[in-house]
Each structure stands twice: as C-alpha cells, then as structure tokens.
Structure 1
Amino acid sequence: MTAETLIEDDRWTQIDLPRLTDQATAATLTHLGLDPEACELTVLACDDSRIAVLNAEFRDKPTPTNVLSWPSEDLAPEIEGDTPMSPSPDITGEIALGDIAIAYDTCAREAAEAGKTLRDHATHLIIHGLLHLLGYDHIRDGDATLMEETEVRILGTLGIDDPYRVD
C-alpha cells in the first residue's frame, strides 16, 4: 500500500500520523476485501487555516472542518443504503483511491471535547475519509447508517471504542 502522508503541521508528528495512517488504511481496506498493497492514497496533515482554504475552494464553505476527501473515482451507490462499488485498478493493477486532508486543530479540539485520545480520533477520521474515497457517505440516512456501522466495525478491529456511542 502506498499511503503517502504529507505533514504540513508538525504537531501531527506527536502521534506518528504516517504510521497511524498506514494502520487505519490497512484495517479499512482489509475489512472491505481490498488488497492494501494495491491501493494508493495521499493524506495531507494540516491545520485549521489550511483546511478552511481547501473547504472554501472545493465545498464553498470557508470554515475549518476535521477531514476532507477527494476520491479518484465516484463509487457511490445509486440506491440509498447499498454498498458502494469496488474501485477499479489501472492497467498496472494499482488502485488510486484519492486524497484526504485532516486538520490538527479541529481534530484535537473534537477529541478533547469527546474525552478521546487524539490518536483514536485521528484514526477514526482517517477511516472516515478513506470510506468517502471508497464511495461511502452520510448525506442520506441509509448511507449514513452503513458508513457508521462500517466505521465502528473497523475501529473495533483496532481496539478503538464506538465513537457514536453515547454513555
């Protein structure tokens, strides 16, 4: 697997984001029956100001967010709640999945507010972003249910509690 992590904000180094990204993406791809060694993606580890610019440019929302995704291919299902299509390898057998950006400030704030570790929350957001690259979404209720259930199962394989459970 080629998961290139570009560190723009050095605060991400405290949790070894490249290693965390490799673990989260391998767990996600394996769970979905994809060969992690055939897949490629890039993760931009930035801050709130950078992600706000990206959010404005690509979503017309000039505010920070926790994670953004740019899929290489539209894999979304037409029918609400259906499983997305599988990505297609190129002629060399590689599967280009796309790009993810994750903002340190928002991620750290959300983790603190939820009483979670930065590492666990960042892992969740990387999985969330990767699922977006793979055609999962949370706009329609049926799709949101599928995406959340998938996230919870993958996080469980990594020993991370259900982030949607309210105690």
Structure 2
Amino acid sequence: MALDLHLSYAPGVARRGVPARTSFTAWVDAALSVARRRRAAELSIRLVDADEGRALNRQYRGRDYATNVLSFPAELPPGVVLPLLGDLVICVPVVAREAAEQNKPVKHHYAHMTVHGVLHLIGHDHIEEADAERMEALERKALAGLGIADPYV
C-alpha cells in the first residue's frame, strides 16, 4: 500500500519531544493494516498548540477546550475516487499532558492518538458501546503490533 503522509507544524509548536515523521508513518500504516485497508492512502497530520486546538474544537465540535486529536474525514463528491482519507489535528501540549497524567511514554500516546484518529478517518467511531468496543480492539491490535501496551488499561 502506498501512503502519502503530509506532516505540518503550526507556528510556535516546539518540535522537541514530538516524534519523527517516520514514527507517524508507521502508526498510520499500523492503523490501516489492522483495519484491512490495503489501497493507497493520503492524509495530513497537523501538530498544533493549545490555542489552535481549542479554536478548532470549538468551531467544529462546539467544545471550548483543546483536545488531543481531531479527525476530519475527506468528503469527496459522489463518483470521485481518490486515496484522500482526510486530516488529523494533534494538539502537542494536550498529548504531552495526558501522557504525563497517565504515566506513559509520550511517544506511545502520540501513537495511540494517531491510530485512533486514522480509524476515525476510515469510518470507525465510538459513540455506541458496540462500536467503541470494535474500535478499541483495533487500536489495541495496532498498538500491540508496534510493541505498545494497551492504552485502556
């Protein structure tokens, strides 16, 4: 499967402590693999600060706080077939704070947020309990394949 990953950093986002592009690529691949998506894929990941994360969460979800990851699936017109999955926005300070609170390596939390976000981009959700169980099982499988412990323990 060909993967075209666009990674960008918002102005002012410190890159210290943020995993390398190769890590994000591996995490996206892992998510797509456990979901059995084998076709070409293209997506963007934007790493943002708390202000931008909060503004996007407020604008698109009506929630006035910065959250760890936001997923924006591509909405292609009928009949248009492209490998575009959509965009992920990962809030750097929220991921760092949550990793510290959960006493886990920050890189592992980035992996979890990336896998979680990619699964949203390809149609998985966790609103209903049964859907949440399916999605979390895929997350666990993808992360285990990367040598990362169950994030829900």
TM-score w.r.t. the length of structure 2 is 0.89
In structure 2, the residue matched to 1:130 is: 118
Partner of 1:34: 37
Within 1, Cα distance between the matches of 2:64 and 2:4?
Answer: 31
Letter in 2 for 1:116: K
Segment of structure 1 superposing worse, 3-12 or 100-109: 3-12
Contact 1:89 1:95 in 2 (8 A): no
Who is 1:6 aligned against?
8
Structure 2 counterpart of 1:96: 84
Q: CA deviation at 1:120?
A: 0.3
1:107 aligns with 2:95: yes
Could you tell me which of 10, 19, 24 is aligned with 1:21?
24
- Aligned pairs, number: 148
Residue number in structure 1 paired with 2:72: 70
Task: Give the match for residue 48 of structure 1.
Answer: 50
Tell me if structure 2 keeps the 8 A contact 1:5–1:17. no
Name the structure 2 match of 1:150. Answer: 138
Letter in 2 for 1:105: P
- Hey, what's the Cα distance between the residues in 1 that align with 2:80 and 2:87? 16
Deviation at 1:31, TM superposition (A): 2.0
Q: Are 1:89 and 1:96, in contact at CA under 8 Å, matched by a contact in 2?
A: no
TM-superposed CA distance for 1:14, in Å, is 3.1
After superposition, the C-alpha distances for 1:43-88 in whole angstroms (9 at most, x for unaligned) are 01011111100011111112110000011149xxxxxxxxxxxxx9
- Note the alpha carbon deviations across 1:83-103, whole angstroms, 9 max, x for none: xxxxx982xxx4110000000
The residue identity in structure 1 corresponding to 2:104 is K
Instruction: Work out the CA distance in 2 between the residues paired with 1:20 and 1:124.
Output: 12
For residue 3 of structure 1, give the secondary structure of its aligned residue in structure 2: strand
Task: Indicate the SS of the match to 2:17.
Answer: helix
Q: Which runs of 4+ in 1 moved over 6 A?
A: none
Q: Which residue of 2 aligns with 1:116?
A: 104
User: Alignment RMSD, CA only?
Assistant: 1.9
Deviation of residue 15 (structure 1)?
3.4
Task: Return 5+ residue gaps in structure 2 as ranges.
Answer: none
Counterpart of 1:4, as a letter, is H
Paired letter, 1:7: Y
